[in-house]
Structure 1
Amino acid sequence: MAESMSVILLLLVLTSYKMSCLHAQDLPILMPHYYEKSCPCAFPIIRNEMHLALLKDPRMAASLLRLQFHDCFVQGCDASLLLDDTPTLRGEKTANANINSARGFDVIDLIKTKLESECPGVVSCADIITIAARDAVLLSGGPYWEVSLGRKDSSTASFNDANNNIPTPNSNLQTLITSFQKQGLSTVDMVALLGGHTIGNARCQNIRPRIYNNSASMAFSEPHLSMVKAACPPSGNDNGVWPLDFPTPILFDNSYYINLVRGLGLLNSDQTLYSEGSETKEIVESYAHDPLGFWKQFSESMVKMSNIVDPLTFVTGEVRKNCRTVNDPL
C-alpha cells in the first residue's frame, strides 16, 4: 500500500514539474500543415460535409461560425462548448449565451465520425470547429484564410465563464470592448468579428429590446418594422427568428455595416458600434465603403481569435473520440 502511494506521489510530482517547466517557447506550435501526413483527407472531408450541411440549411454557416466564437471565449479554443452535461461535469450548452441559440453540434458530430473512420484519434474537435468555421464563411461567399492547427480538446468546461465571457445581444459598447479585450482582441478585431452577423438570424427574444423601444438610432422603414414585429410579437414565439442582415442573410458581404450606418442594426449590441463610439463608428463606415477591407481584417481577426489557446491544454488535453464526451481513462 505504501509502495503504491509512493508511485502515485511520484507521478503527481512529475506532472507538476512538467507543467511548471512548460514555457510558451516549449509549446507545440499551431501550424497549417499539422495533419498533412497524419490525416491528409481532413480538409476535404470537412469541406464536403460543410457543403452538404449548407445545402440542407444555409443558416448552418452562421451557426458554425458562432460555435467558434462561443467556444474560444471560454477557456480558449478547446471544444469545451461541445461537451454534454454529465453527473460530474456541467457543460456550457445550457449557459444563457448558448441555450436555444448554439446549434450545429450534429454537423460537428457527423464530421468527427467521418474523420474517425479515416484517421482514428488524430483530428481534435477544436480543430474541426476552426476549419468548419472558416469553410462556413468561404461557402457563404466570404474570404478564405489559412488556419493553423494542432489544438487539443479540453477535459473540462466552464458554465460560469460561458455566462460571463460571452457578450449579450443587448451589451453596450463598453461592455463589448471589455469582453473582447479580455480575450486579447482589439477594438478593430471586435468590429470586424461582429461583422460575422452579416449571415444568420437572431431570436425574437433578443430582438424585442431593439424593435419595441423608440430608439433614435432605429431607422427601420414601416413595412420592414411591421414584418419584424409580426414575426416577433411583444410576447410569445421567443425562439422565432429574423435575419440579422435582412437584404442578404446567407451571403457573407459587408451589408451588415451598411445597415448599421442606416440605423438598421437588428440587435442593440450591433447598432451600438455605430451609435455610441467615434472610433467604432469610423471603422463601421470604412467597412461599409470597403468590402475587401472588411474581408481582410475579418480574416486576420479570425486567425487571431482561433489562436486563443490555454497553454495547459497541450499538457492536459486530448483528441476526443466523440466530441460530446471526454475519452474514457485507460
Structure 2
Amino acid sequence: MTNLNATVAAVLVMLAFLAGQSVAGRYYYDKVQDKVRKEVEKAMAKNPSVGPALVRLVFHDCWVYGCDGSVLLDSTPTDGTNTEKKAANNIGLAGFEVIDAIKQKVGTDASCADIVAFAARDAADILSGGKIFYTIPGGRKDGVVSSAAVADANLPHPDFNFDELKDNFNASSRGSSFTVEELVVLSGAHSIGVAHLSSYQDRLGPDSTPIDSDYQEALNKATPPGLLKTGQNPTVTNNVRDETDAFQKDAAYNPVAMGVNPKRGVLDNSYYHNNLVNKVLFKSDWVLRTDDFAASKLDEYKNNPAEWNSDFAAAMVKLSSLPAQGNKLEIRKNCRVPNPQY
C-alpha cells in the first residue's frame, strides 16, 4: 500500500508538471525561461494587448534576417535610425517594453532573439488557455543590422494576392521555406491583435475583394477611410469576435451562432470560421479562399480546432528556428542597440 501510494503521488506530480500550469504559471527547468514567463504574465495581466503583440513580434523578427532580434533595434552603425521599426509593414508593432523588462532580468544569460521567441511562445500559451504550447531551445544570437527597406521587402503585405503570399512563404533565402499549409496555419494568428486602417482601407470600397456587406459597413462606420486624409490611422481588432457588442450588431455577427468561442482575445480557430463567411479584414486573408488546397485547409481548421492548435504550435517552432543570417552576431547587452564594438 505504501509503495502504491508513493507511485500514485509520483504520477500526480508528473501529471501536474506535464499540465504545465501552477497558480504562478508554467514551470520550466530553465531559469531564463522562468523569468521570461513571469514577466510575460505580469505584462499581460496589466495590459492584455501585450499578448497578441508578442506573438506578432516573433514573426516580424524571424521573417527578416532570421531570428536575430533585429526588429528590436532603434539604431545601428550601418542603418542609422532607419531600422525595421520604421518599416511600413511594421506599423503598430509593440511589446518592446516587455522585452526590455525581461532583458533587465536575464542580462547576458539570453540573447534578445531568444527573449522574443520565448515571450511569443508564452503569450500564445496564455492566449490559448494552455491549448497551444511548444518547447523551443535557446542559443539564438543577436544581429547588428536592421533595415526598414529590407523589412518591407521581406514581410508579406496585407494586400498580397495568393501567388504573392505563396511565393513569400516559399522563399528559401530564409533558410527554410514554408508550405501553403503553413501559410494557412500561421494566418490563424489573425484571430488576435489589431490592425490599422491603412492596412485594410482597400477592403472598404465598392471594388474591394469580396467582404461581407454588413461587416464592411460596420468597418466604414467605425473607421471611415477619410480619416487617413486628416492624419488619423485608427485601429480595429483583427477578429470581429473581439469587437464591441455594438460593432458586432452592425456587422450582423453572432459568435455563438457562428460556432465560435465568444470569449474575446482568445487565440483559437475562430479566424477560419470568419474567413469562410467573408468577415476577415485583409485581402491577404480572403485570398486564401482562391486556392483550392488553401481553401480546403480553411475548412479543415474550422472544423478541427485541436488540429489547428497542434499545427500552429509546430509552425511556430519552425518559425522560431529560422537561422540568423548576419555575419556578425552577438548577445546584446541592450536589446535596442548593438554592443559598442559595432
TM-score bin, normalised by smaller chain: 0.7 to 0.9
1:60 to 50, 63, 73: 50
Contact 2:143–2:324, Cα closer than 8 Å, also in 1: no
Could you list the runs of 4 or more consecutive aligned residues of structure 1 that deviate by over 4 angstroms after TM superposition? none
| % identity of equivalent residues | 33
Structure 2, unaligned stretches of length 5 or more? 1-28, 243-263
Equivalent residue number for residue 279 of structure 2 = 264
Distance change >3 Å, CA 80–CA 311, structure 1 → 2: closer
**Cα deviation 1:274-329 (Å, max 9, x = unaligned):** 2x11111001110011111111111111111111103665xx31110100011122
Asked if 1:151 corresponds to 2:129, the answer is no
Q: Which structure 2 residues correspond to residues 233-248 of structure 1 after superposition, within 5 A? A: 233-236=224-227, 238-248=232-242
* Partner residue, 1:83: 73
Tell me the alpha carbon deviations over residues 40-92 of structure 1, each in whole angstroms, 9 at most, x when there is no partner: 42122111111122122222111111111111111101001111124642421
Aligned residue for 1:137? 124
Q: 2:304 aligns with which of 284, 290, 301?
A: 290
Residue type at the aligned position of 1:154:
G
Give me the whole-angstrom Cα distance separating, in 2, the residues matched to 1:216 and 1:207.
11
CA shift digits 1:227-278 (9 cap, x unpaired): 322221121154311111111451011010000011111111111112x111
2:89 is the counterpart of 1:97:
yes
Is the aligned partner of 1:197 residue 2:190?
A: yes
Normalising by structure 2, report the TM-score.
0.78
CA contact (8 A) 1:208 1:232 kept: no
Measured after TM superposition, the shift of residue 225 of structure 1 is 3.7
| C-alpha separation in 1, matches of 2:42 and 2:205 | 38
Distance 1:253 1:122 in 2: 33
> Which residue of structure 1 lines up, in the alignment, with residue 11 of structure 2?
none
After superposition, what is the alpha-carbon deviation per residue over 1:131-185, rounded to whole angstroms, capped at 9, x for unaligned? 0011111111240011122000011223322011101111111111111111411
Write the distance in 1 (CA, Å) between the matches of 2:296 and 2:276.
Answer: 10
**Superposition pairs of residues 166-315 of structure 1, within 5 angstroms:** 166-182=155-171, 183=174, 184-215=177-208, 217-221=210-214, 224-236=215-227, 238-248=232-242, 249-274=264-289, 276-310=290-324
The residue number in structure 2 matching 1:21 is none
Give the 3 Å change call, closer, same or farther, for CA 91–57 of structure 1 in structure 2.
same
In structure 2, what is the Cα distance between the partners aligned to 1:201 and 1:311? 30
- Partner residue in 2 for 1:28: none
RMSD: 1.9
The DSSP-based 3-state class of the residue aligned with 1:55 is helix
Partner Cα separation in structure 2 for residue 320 and residue 67 of structure 1: 18
Distance in 2 (CA, whole Å) between partners of 1:269 and 1:189 is 14
Alignment of 1:157-168 (within 5 A): 157-168=146-157
Q: Distance in 2 between matches of 1:148 and 1:86?
A: 27
Conserved 8 A contact 1:91-1:158 = yes
For 1:161 and 1:311, the matched residues in 2 are separated by 13
Does the residue aligned with 1:202 lie in a helix, a strand or coil? strand
Inter-partner Cα distance in structure 1 for 2:223 and 2:322: 36
Q: Which moved more, 1:61-70 or 1:280-289?
A: 61-70
Query: Unaligned regions of 5+ residues in structure 1, if any?
Result: 1-38
Query: What amino acid is the match of 1:318?
Result: E
